[in-house]
Amino acid sequence: MDRHTDRDGGLRLDDQLCFALYAATNATTRAYRPLLATLGLTYPQYLVMLALWQDGDATVGHLARRLRLDSHAVSPVVNRLEVHGHVVRRRGADRRQVVVAATAQGRELEAAASRAQAQVAHDTGLDPAELADLRGRLLELADHLTSHSTPDLRPVPHPAGRADTPRGEAS
């Protein structure tokens, strides 16, 4: 009997990669939620701010590719960040592009967000090397699956030519 099926030949929930990733994602997001709430950020807003802190000003399209999302999913997040004064939008050199930049207020959140991230990293129980390995393997998996599906969600090269992975110990 295949270990991915039960006695009746059906699929087993516990053997599904998608379920393991879903459960881990939910647990991670729940761990971040109260820490980010003290900063006035939602988890999606935190991800946008992380990209801006790391990469600097970016178009909405770049942010979407960086976060492996569709542009229409990023725009409402940027709108809320702008309402709260964390980012500003302006036209780029190509007037068709909208560039998003962190404001001074938005940049001030980075230190507190770093403490929240460190807390979640600690709470995983993994040492920094294990955490880095896990992140790398998960991003490789995402890149592999994405390269075999939707072309517009493929990873975007880092503007400075570095790999498209976060610095530090993000979880």
pLDDT band at 94 (very low <50, low <70, confident <90, very high): confident
How high is the pLDDT of residue 105?
97
pTM exceeding 0.75: yes
- Whole-number Å distance between alpha carbons of 82 and 68: 21
Question: Mean pLDDT over all residues of the chain?
Answer: 87
Residue 163: φ, ψ to 5°: -60, 155
- Mean per-residue pLDDT, 106-123: 96
How high is the pLDDT of residue 169?
39
- Whole-number Å distance between alpha carbons of 111 and 96: 33
- Choose the weakest-confidence range: 123-127, 130-134, 161-165: 161-165
- Mean per-residue pLDDT, 67-94: 94
pLDDT reading at 166 higher than 50: no
Residue type, 76: P
- Mean per-residue pLDDT, 34-51: 97
Domains of the chain: 13-153 (1.10.10.10)
